[in-house]
C-alpha cells in the first residue's frame, strides 16, 4: 500500500489510517483503539503494534502526541502517564516499529493538515486551531508558518486549566447542555482572541462534526470555522510530517 501511515495518540483513543499525503485523504477506513490506563509507553506500545499489524504496514509512519514535543523528546504529558516525560519518542517508536518515524504535538499535526487541505487553506495572517477532545489542543500559524507547542489549553480560566472547563470531556463529565458548554467555550475563546487577535479560529476535534450545535452561539470578532478534516486531521498531519 502506498502512502504514509498516520497514528494519532490521544488521551482516550489511539487512531490510525494510511494517508495519501498528496491529497490529504485516508486510503482506508481509520481504526481506533482505546488508550490503556495507565497510559505508559509500555502499555501503549502493544496498541501501536496492533494498529500497524492491522494495516500490515511497512514504510514511513508519522505519530502525534498530546503534549509538548521538542526535537523528538516528550516534554509534557497532561493526558497520558507522566512516565512519557523525557522519553525520546522518535528513538522509542522507531525501535518499536522498525520504520522511519516522526513525532509531533497532536494539535500541531491537526493544524498542519487543516492549513494544507482544510479550513485554513490559503489563509494568511494569524490562524488559531483548537481541538476540543479529552483536553484542548492548540496550533498557531502566522502566514502559514507554525509556531509549535503552544499548549493554550492550559491557560487559566476561572482558576483552572481551561481544558478542565471547556473541553469536550468536561462537557460529557458534567453533562452540560450545548448552550451551557458553548458559553464556556465562548469565554475561553474571548480570552484567546484578546491575547492573539486571530483573523480565523478553526475548531477541531470530534466535536467539529457537531459544530451546528454550538458555533452559532459564539460571539467573537474573528471568523470561526469547523475543521474540514474533522477528527482525521491529526492522522493526516502526522503522515504529512513523516520523514522522507
Tell me the per-residue pLDDT of 189-223, one tens digit each, with 9 for 90 and over.
999 999 999 999 999 998 999 999 999 999 999 99
Residue 173 and residue 100 share a domain: no
How high is the mean pLDDT of the chain? 97
Residue 148 and residue 63 share a domain: no
Domain containing residue 53: CATH number: 3.30.420.40
Rounded to the nearest 5°, which phi and psi values hold at 194? -65, -35
Query: In sequence order, which residues have a C-beta less than 8 Å from that of residue 106 and are 6 or more positions away?
Result: 8, 9, 10, 64, 65, 66, 131, 137, 234
Q: Residue 114: inside a domain, yes or no?
A: no
Residue 1 has pLDDT above 50, yes or no: no
Label residues 193-220 b or e (16+ Cβ within 10 Å = b). Answer: beebebebbbbbbbbbeebeebeeebee
Cα–Cα distance, 8 to 37 (Å, whole number): 17
The structure's pTM equals 0.96
Residue 63 and residue 28 share a domain: yes
Q: Which residue has the cell 495572517?
A: 125
Tell me the per-residue pLDDT of 84-135, one tens digit each, with 9 for 90 and over.
999 999 999 999 999 999 999 999 999 999 999 999 999 999 999 999 999 9
Domain that holds residue 152: 122-228
How many separate domains does the chain show?
2
Residue 224 and residue 126 share a domain: yes
Q: Residue 115: inside a domain, yes or no?
A: no
Cell of 14: 489511539
Helix (H) or strand (E) holding 136: strand 136-142
Q: Residue 116: inside a domain, yes or no?
A: no
Query: CB of 153 within 8 A of CB of 137?
Result: yes
Cα–Cα distance, 132 to 36 (Å, whole number): 20
Query: CB of 17 within 8 A of CB of 243?
Result: no
| Percentage of the chain exceeding pLDDT 70 | 99
DSSP 8-state code for residue 9: E
Residue 143 and residue 45 share a domain: no
| End-to-end Cα, the chain, rounded Å | 16
Amino acid at each position: 500500500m502506498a502512502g504514509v501511515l498516520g497514528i494519532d495518540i490521544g488521551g482516550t483513543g489511539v487512531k490510525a489510517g494510511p494517508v495519501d499525503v498528496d491529497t490529504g485523504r485516508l486510503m482506508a477506513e481509520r481504526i481506533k483503539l482505546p488508550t490503556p490506563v495507565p497510559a505508559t509507553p509500555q502499555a501503549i506500545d502493544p496498541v501501536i503494534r496492533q494498529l500497524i499489524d492491522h494495516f500490515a504496514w511497512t514504510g514511513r509512519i508519522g505519530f502525534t502526541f498530546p503534549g509538548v514535543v521538542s526535537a523528538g523528546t516528550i516534554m509534557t504529558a497532561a493526558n497520558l502517564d507522566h512516565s512519557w516525560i523525557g522519553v525520546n519518542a522518535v528513538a522509542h517508536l522507531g525501535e518499536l516499529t522498525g520504520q522511519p518515524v516522526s513525532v509531533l504535538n497532536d494539535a500541531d499535526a491537526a493544524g498542519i493538515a487543516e492549513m494544507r487541505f482544510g479550513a485554513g487553506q490559503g489563509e494568511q495572517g494569524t490562524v488559531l486551531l483548537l481541538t476540543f477532545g479529552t483536553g484542548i489542543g492548540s496550533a498557531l500559524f502566522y502566514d502559514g508558518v507554525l509556531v509549535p507547542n503552544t499548549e493554550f489549553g492550559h491557560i487559566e480560566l476561572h482558576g483552572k486549566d481551561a481544558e478542565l472547563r471547556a473541553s469536550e470531556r468536561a462537557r460529557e463529565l458534567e453533562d452540560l447542555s450545548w448552550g451551557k458548554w458553548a458559553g464556556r467555550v465562548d469565554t475561553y475563546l474571548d480570552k484567546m482572541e484578546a491575547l492573539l487577535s486571530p483573523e480565523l479560529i478553526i475548531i477541531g476535534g470530534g466535536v467539529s462534526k457537531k459544530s451546528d450545535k454550538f458555533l452559532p452561539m459564539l460571539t467573537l470578532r474573528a471568523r470561526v470555522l469547523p475543521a474540514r478534516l474533522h477528527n482525521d486531521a491529526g492522522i493526516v498531519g502526522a503522515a504529512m510530517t513523516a520523514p522522507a
